[in-house]
Amino acid sequence: MKGHVVAEISIVPVGTGDTGLSRYVAACLEVLEGRKDLSYHLTSMGTIVEGPLDKVLEVIHKMHEVPFSKGASRVVTFLKIDDRRDKSSTMASKIESVMKLRPSIKT
């Protein structure tokens, strides 16, 4: 959709005493659940969020705070934003455009 961005976020709590991150990821995803103004897709290395830029940044800020509330002493957040304004772009359309060129690729 025009006016929407696609963002990839990866939130890494540091200083937790545990190498497992699943409980932090699950807690961060709670922030996204039930949001009608955003779409999201969990991947093995992060979460992709799609929606209006202001709403995406708002929810990412909330997600960044979650590990602190769960006892982390430090949080490193990686963020990539694709803000395309010449035409509509979505998570699905980005994949579809590649699949047209390489239909043998498995997703």
Q: Is 27 part of any domain?
A: yes
Tell me the whole-structure pTM to 2 decimals: 0.85
Nearest to 59 by CA among 46, 82, 40: 40
| pLDDT tens series, the chain, 107 aa | 667 999 999 999 998 888 888 999 999 999 999 999 999 999 999 999 999 999 999 999 999 999 999 999 999 999 999 998 888 888 888 888 888 888 888 76
Interatomic CA distance for residues 99 and 104, integer angstroms: 8
pLDDT for the residue numbered 67: 96
pLDDT for the residue numbered 19: 81
Look up residue 35 and give its DSSP letter.
Answer: -
E strands within 1-107? 4-14, 39-42, 47-52, 74-82
Q: Is 106 part of any domain?
A: no
Q: Is 38 part of any domain?
A: yes
pLDDT for the residue numbered 1: 61
pLDDT for the residue numbered 2: 67
CATH number at residue 86: 3.30.70.930
* Domain extent for 68: 4-101
Domain count for the chain, please give it: 1
Q: Is 73 part of any domain?
A: yes
